[in-house]
Amino acid sequence: MEKTRLSFYDEIRKNKIYSVLLMGIVFVILILIGYAISFAFSPDYFFSILVLSIIISILYIWIGYYNSASIALASVGAKQANSSEHKMFYDLVEGLTLASGLPMPKLYIMKNEQINAFASGRNPENAVICVTTGALEKLSKQELEGVLSHELSHIANFDIRFMTLTAVLVGMIAIISEIFLRSLFYGSRSRDNDNKGNTIFLLIGIVLAILAPILVQLVQLAISRRREFVADASAVKFMRTPTGLIGALTKIKSNSEMKVSGAVAPLFLARPSHSLNLFETHPPLESRIEKLRRM
């Protein structure tokens, strides 16, 4: 029996809603851990930790956010593409930007025989797209266009900004948990140990402080996987056909794992995983291809 056809508009909307809901889970975890710490100690104590964690987290992430493109390009040794030597690369991106109304990103090439690509930059005006030499050599024109449409979709959907906000929240929770747990061992804070209510909330706070960083990291990875589905559906919206991206992802299935820094690995188009892994930044290739075939 033929499976129901999927609308790329519905897929984009649905996955964006899932992303926001997952972000809401991170907020809930932040509120719960704050609530438990406030009852175990005092609201002022949690407020002090919160302010400190916000400052540290935002400063750390802000530097990376404003330099995300240059950091990513430098880490993979990418070189700026030449418009005459890589004419098809330039022409395809130019055509897609004209059709989508996006500004022309800067184009780079990374020397690697595997098929892959990534986009980075804090906004469409400061975006870059980098493709591997393997992608330029092994993909057909339509397949390369599908890959570039996917990367432009990340730019159009402000995915770098969205994931940066997620990273700030995740970083805050990790810092709050670390400060709280360390304060239990090294702090000299006086508290009423006979107060049964405080003791219960203290135990809840300890459990949350241990589990929260793990839970929010899993949520962060789930958000990353959802943004990949959004970019796939948006690529179909740009090209009006899923054929090119399906062909590219099918060829990537035979890739060996690319040797790149773990910090930039989530930016790439795909990783050749074949089963759902909660600790992966990308959905299984089979799932992505199956969805695209139904659009």
Burial of 84 by CB count in 10 Å (0-12 exposed, 13-18 middle, 19+ buried)?
exposed
Looking at the DSSP assignment, which residues form a beta bridge with residue 119?
129
**Angle 270-245-223 from CA coordinates, rounded to 5°:** 45
* φ, ψ of residue 107 in degrees (nearest 5): -110, 135
Per the listing, tokens 């075939």 go with: 293
The residue annotated as part of the active site, out of 11, 143, 145, 151, is 151
Mark whether 290 is an active-site residue: no
Residue 269 sits at φ, ψ, to 5 deg, of -55, -45
Distance CA 6, CA 271 (A): 24
Greatest alpha-carbon pair distance for the chain in Å reads 77
Going across the sheet that includes 79-80, the strands are 79-80, 106-110, 128-132, 117-120
Residues recognised as catalytic:
151
